[in-house]
Amino acid sequence: MIKLSLLKKELMEYFKTPKILILSVLFIFFAIASPALAKYMNEILKAVASDLEIVFPDPTFKDAWLQFYKNMNSLCLIVYLIVLTGVVSSEKSKGSIVLVLTKNVSRLQFLLCKFLAGVIVYTLLLLVSTFVSAYYTQILFGVYSYPGMIESIILLWVLGVFYTALGIFVSTLAKSPTTSALLGFFGFALLQVLNISENISLYNPAGASSIVNQILVGSFDMSLFFIPVLIALLSSGVMFGISYYIFTKQEI
């Protein structure tokens, strides 16, 4: 079912274009900046508000991870999602999709390779940025690990898988990269609003952005860990299935 030559081509598209450079710089920058910002935030605030007598608590390594998750769940994932929203719609607008589909490539193989390439790229970005952030957190705070850290990274990974599926969905639905990007941003914003409630975030496919913070402070019941993971993965599968169904009905 997976056409390896097509998957290789999709991966090379990230490296032949500025996509991988933009994503790598963004992910690694915040991996470095997050622990540094957490470490020196008090000094920055004191310098800005020098006329106010405010006592700030001493930062801990958990503040570094809190900042890291915040940046990952906002700027990094938004940019990643926007990149994904153009993988199908851009080929529609340029007409290159016709050339691909006439070379013994099924529509399922076309979409599946787009999806897998996105997941592979996101996985690499997440692993590298996590290791970099852990390294700098260790340097600045002398410790980096906390109970539930691995589970938190797994949740971030399934969150990325879900947003990959969302990106493929809106990219398949729309006819132009601009429209698909707007739809993707709207979907991201809507899912973030649902995370306001901790009860809803448990069953929200994008609830990991809230749950990782709960794990960090020790307020999450780890016996429920499998629920957001399964919901995110199942939602990704359902969304990909809908994308494929829509794609089969479209005239290329």
Structural domain spans, the chain: 4-38+64-249
- Cα atoms found within 13 Å of the Cα of residue 223, Cβ hemisphere only: 0
Q: Which two tokens stand for residue 129?
A: 């940025």
Answer whether 141's CB lies under 8 Å from 60's CB.
yes
Helix (H) or strand (E) holding 239: helix 226-249
Q: Give the Cβ contact number of residue 127 at 10 Å.
A: 12
Answer whether 214's CB lies under 8 Å from 152's CB.
no
Q: What is the pLDDT of residue 134?
A: 96
Share of the chain above pLDDT 90, in %: 57
* Matching residue, tokens 């973030």: 192
For 79-99, what is each residue's pLDDT tens digit? 999 999 988 888 877 777 777
Task: Give the C-alpha separation, 53 to 46, whole Å.
Answer: 9
Average pLDDT for the chain: 88
Q: What is the pLDDT of residue 45?
A: 67
For 43-61, what is each residue's pLDDT tens digit? 776 666 656 566 667 888 9
Q: Residue range 131-136: average pLDDT? A: 96
Q: Residue range 216-238: average pLDDT? A: 93
For 158-207, what is each residue's pLDDT tens digit? 999 999 999 999 999 988 888 999 999 999 988 888 877 777 888 888 88
Angle between helices 149-173 and 77-84 (to 10 degrees): 30
Task: Give the C-alpha separation, 198 to 210, whole Å.
Answer: 7
